[in-house]
Structure 1
Amino acid sequence: MHLITLVLLLALGACEAVYWQKLTCPYEPEHKSLRRVWCRHSTTECCTGLIFSQSDHLVDGGKLRVTQDLNVFTVAVMEPSQGEGVYWCGVLNRNDTLIKLAESYIYSSSIAYFWSYIRWILLAVLPIVTIFTSVSIRQTTKHSCKKAEEPHGDIAVSRTLTDLQYENVASSCELEQ
């Protein structure tokens, strides 16, 4: 059963082995037609980045994927073009004022790339560790049960010797009569 689960998960994830970091950006219904903003936080009041429309699905040469839902758009980042840091998503108001909707720390591609493959290795190792642990526990339980059934040290020897002495006494009594 573990093998089937592993194969299915690997098959589903093989299509997208790259780790996409996501930032969900909810907005007010009246902001639906405004241009979207994706930028890296540079100072307390400012950020540097990109402006795109609500119909754009791939931005920054395909490094950003934008999906639209009802009053929410989500930006998925494979590789932040401006390096890792705090990124904002928002909308650009009619007077070119940025309305920040959400922010998140986006990691550099090396970390994201490393994680995208390590997670699949861990996924493969997990069932093996589970099976090994289960077998090991069963063997330990069997050995401890056998030890409990065996007689213990001096007590077993003294009982055996006592029983033999009685048998010898009975045998010798029978011979004398």
Structure 2
Amino acid sequence: MLLLTTVVFWLAGICDGVQRLTCPYDLMDEGLPRVWCKETSPQCCTGFSFSRQSQSLDAGSLKVTQGVDSFTVDVLNLTQGEGMYWCGVLSSNNTIIKLAEEYFYSSSYVWDILRWILMPLLPMVSIFSYCYLNRKHQNKKEEGQLMNIAMTSDLAQNNRQNEDSAEEITELE
């Protein structure tokens, strides 16, 4: 049950409308302008550059978080539509040095599909898990009672055998 809940919350986190791309760079490229763009061909992309201090881009559609040797772009809204996106740095000769790339989907598309599959399953799985665990607990309880009855029966039988043995010993004397 815990595993299922964890998976559902993890999927909900993926599908909450935020997709992320982490862009690791060499320390020598730290001062270069950053780039975010959508691939138009394997060698080209269209987008924009931004500074290291930028935290919000494209009218709030992108959130940038700076790390020690990387920056992360959180995509809140795909204004250019779904497709392959790059992050990188802009070299001194205006060439994009691609750091990472990933295909981004329209988040509503992914979430629309997953929520219709996962959300009805969650209550059903919860109910079945509760019933299963409750029944399992009940079975253990019944097994314990049966063991007590069996042990009591064995003790009574042993007592009878001991009494019979004692009578036989008495008769032999």
Match 1:52 to one of 50, 53, 78: 50
Tell me the percent identity.
40
**Corresponding residue of 1:135:** 134
Confirm or deny: 8 A CA contact 1:24 1:73 kept in the other structure. Answer: yes
Distance 2:47 2:114 in 1: 25
How far apart are residue 18 of structure 1 and its match? 3.4
**Corresponding residue of 1:81:** 79
Runs (5+) with no aligned partner, structure 1: 144-177
Match 2:39 to one of 38, 41, 56: 41
Q: Secondary structure at the match of 1:89?
A: strand
Distance 1:29 1:114 in 2: 41
Distance 1:132 1:92 in 2: 59
How far apart are residue 58 of structure 1 and its match? 0.5
Q: What amino acid is the match of 1:30? A: M
Confirm or deny: 8 A CA contact 1:18 1:116 kept in the other structure. Answer: no
Confirm or deny: 8 A CA contact 2:85 2:104 kept in the other structure. Answer: yes
Confirm or deny: 8 A CA contact 2:89 2:98 kept in the other structure. Answer: yes
**Corresponding residue of 1:90:** 88
Confirm or deny: 8 A CA contact 1:19 1:116 kept in the other structure. Answer: no
Match 1:65 to one of 63, 66, 70: 63
Normalised by the length of structure 2, the TM-score is: 0.63
The higher radius of gyration belongs to: 1
CA gap 1:128/1:67 in 2 versus in 1, 3 angstroms:
farther
Distance 2:117 2:24 in 1: 29
Would you say how many aligned residue pairs link Structure 1 and Structure 2? 138
How far apart are residue 79 of structure 1 and its match? 1.4
